Structure 1
């Protein structure tokens, strides 16, 4: 068993806390998740002891197998029902003591990377035109990642509404739920869970909050505890960012801006708050350059997409900013001396 971070984290990674949430849910379904974890060489105890994280693709495969074993396609919603603030670590404590729902939603988005990092995007909280907490997920969708969207939105819903219960007058704090993927056969389960309009085939994944009540002070709030927890979250976030070299910072920005486009060094430098000349100099000091990072990033993402997802090769080509699928095929053969189809089949056969 391993207690360290997966070596293949091109698409991002998540905290072991989410596995604990999944394990709790499987126990309530009278299902033993341990054989599935063992299959993927994962130990919750060892990951927890070493502050370990799990690759997003491995997490999706574990969830998919649990769905197959239990027959519960609503696994993500069940995980949301079973979530508790402890599953969110120090971020959970900050949420539990936040002064109002707006502040709680803000910290959920602001400190998301303490628990999960997706190289293609991150959650946000906007206040106009309507207060909305959004979750970024890898798309297009397939049976491996539906439950991820469900679990995040359902967990946010449970945590937010559990705090809203302390308001003087009970209110529906979530006004509407938006989900990017098409309406599933069991859509009534979503409406029953969220108890508000649920819009599938939306342009984003997220919760639209009730603007009339999110600023109302929560009677159970504790300002001193919130400030302490928020400062600890901020310190941990700064530590993560300080430990990043410039190569890592560039990889993050490139990954976020590849879809349908290949960003040049001027665009990335602007996103990093510096000039192209300064960025070139800093990368030179790290014995690399922008073009090399671009190629390495696209290669890493390409291998992860082909190996770990069911995306079509045309979709992968678009996500990686290639002008045509043919250009992607040519680059993939240069990287691997194999076609995307053969490369994917190799890994499918290994798993079987």
Structure 2
């Protein structure tokens, strides 16, 4: 079982807020065996359960029931490490959203973020089944998204709608102040909805050369984060990272791993595998995980797996399972419970 973790640097927003409230943050951090040096090291990671404890202790110390929102408001570029720097150097907000969904594991693995365009609105969804993803963590996450988007775009944008899974708090005054849009609670998932026109917003620090360098570094960090002695696991992670962009050719994945195509093929052959087989298996594994969630459309799965169109996904899925996606989902729904 994978333990949900966050980058220690992600705590910076909480610590900055506590300092504004004149809380002794040195003593606060000592209780959790964290120091200032660790806060500056985005590669250092702590369990999300510990971060959750810190948020609730911070609530008790300050009497602030909206501690998550206020910690998220304190977002700084270095809080996201390489992820934040990569986002800052993108050309448009759409590129920034794409980088966020690709590299978010560098700061937190408690959930998976994905986005989809529906009509004239974009839905940025934060999917999590982790019990550690409490109200404070969800609100800190969304508040930091909105605050960071305003900062990198140099605008005062606000979403069209925000949804949270937790029950409505006693007061939503701070939600209204920060988000300036309708906020709904007790929803199926955490979701931020905003106009598609936001995707074309130019970012004020666009630097293509820096972006290329940061992307290369971020890809390497992702592989290190998911280190395994088996070469196939490194290839699988590289493929998973690039599926949504569709950049999963043998040449591209080999370059990501700093190998030639021939070297990659030889290493897989040593493990009795082929690149096409690993690509198919990766897509199949992800497809079977997504297909069980009837909230996810087949068109969305097609996009997430990097297929050119829905018919290509349908053909591949039937080859894997002998059933169409619709037939398979229906069979899962009708499957007798084992409880």
Q: What range is the shorter-chain TM-score in?
A: 0.5 to 0.7
Runs of at least 5 residues in structure 1 that lack an aligned partner in the other structure: 1-8, 253-268, 276-321, 325-352
1:135 counterpart (105, 126, 131)? 126
Equivalent residue, structure 1, for 2:109: 117
Please point out which of 72, 76, 81 is paired with 1:84: 76
* 1:196 pairs with 2:196: no
Q: 2:7 aligns with which of 8, 15, 23?
A: 15
Mapped partners of 1:244, 1:123: distance in 2:
28
Q: Is the 8 A contact 1:11 1:57 kept in 2?
A: no
Q: d(CA) in 1 for partners of 2:207 and 2:30? A: 41
Gap change, CA 1:47 and 1:174, over 3 Å in 2: closer
| Shift in alpha-carbon separation, 1:159–1:47, aligned structure 2, 3 A | closer
Q: Distance in 2 between matches of 1:214 and 1:113?
A: 22
**Which of 146, 165, 179 is 2:135 aligned to?**
146
Note closer, same or farther for the CA distance 1:51–1:223 as it changes in structure 2 (3 Å cut): closer
Q: Deviations over 1:92-136 (max 9, x none)?
A: 111111111111112112101111112xx4122223353222223
Supply the RMSD in Å over aligned alpha carbons.
Answer: 3.1
Tell me the TM-score normalized by structure 2: 0.63
CA distance in 1, matches of 2:40, 2:150: 28
Q: How far, CA to CA, are the matches of 1:224 and 1:46 in structure 2?
A: 29
**Contact 2:90/2:208, CA 8 A, preserved across alignment:** yes
Q: 1:230 to 1:51 in 2, by over 3 A?
A: closer
Structure 2 distance, partners of 1:212, 1:50, is: 32
Question: Partners in 2 of 1:171 and 1:44 — Cα distance?
Answer: 32
Q: Report the counterpart of residue 64 of structure 2 in structure 1.
A: 72
Aligned to 1:317: none
The one of 194, 215, 231 equivalent to 2:216 is 231
Count of aligned residue pairs for this structure pair? 245
Structure 2 distance, partners of 1:248, 1:208, is 34
CA distance in 2, matches of 1:203, 1:31: 36
| CA–CA separation in structure 2 for the residues paired with 1:209 and 1:242 | 36
Contact 1:180 1:205 in 2 (8 A): yes
Task: Give the corresponding residue for 2:148.
Answer: 159
SS at match of 2:34: coil
Q: 1:84 to 1:244 in 2, by over 3 A?
A: farther
- Aligned in 2, Cα 1:50/1:146: closer, same or farther, shift over 3 Å? closer
Contact 1:47–1:53, Cα closer than 8 Å, also in 2: no
Q: Deviation of residue 42 (structure 1)?
A: 3.0
On the 8 A contact 1:36/1:65 being kept in 2, the answer is: no
What displacement does 1:50 show?
9.2
Higher relative contact order (CA 8 A, sep 6+): 1
CA distance, structure 2, for counterparts of residue 116 and residue 201 of structure 1: 23
CA gap 1:244/1:92 in 2 versus in 1, 3 angstroms: farther
Q: Under a length normalisation based on structure 1, what TM-score does the superposition of the two structures give? A: 0.61
What is the Cα deviation at residue 46 of structure 1?
4.4
What is the deviation of 1:235? Answer: 2.4
**Partner in structure 1 of residue 282 of structure 2:** 272
Q: How far apart in 1 are the matches of 2:173 and 2:139?
A: 14
Alpha-carbon distance between aligned partners in 1 of 2:232 and 2:205, rounded to the nearest angstrom = 44
Alignment map for 1:1-352 (pairs within 5 Å): 10-46=2-38, 48=40, 51-118=43-110, 121-129=111-119, 130-138=121-129, 145-165=134-154, 172-241=157-226, 243=228, 245=230, 272-273=282-283, 323-324=338-339
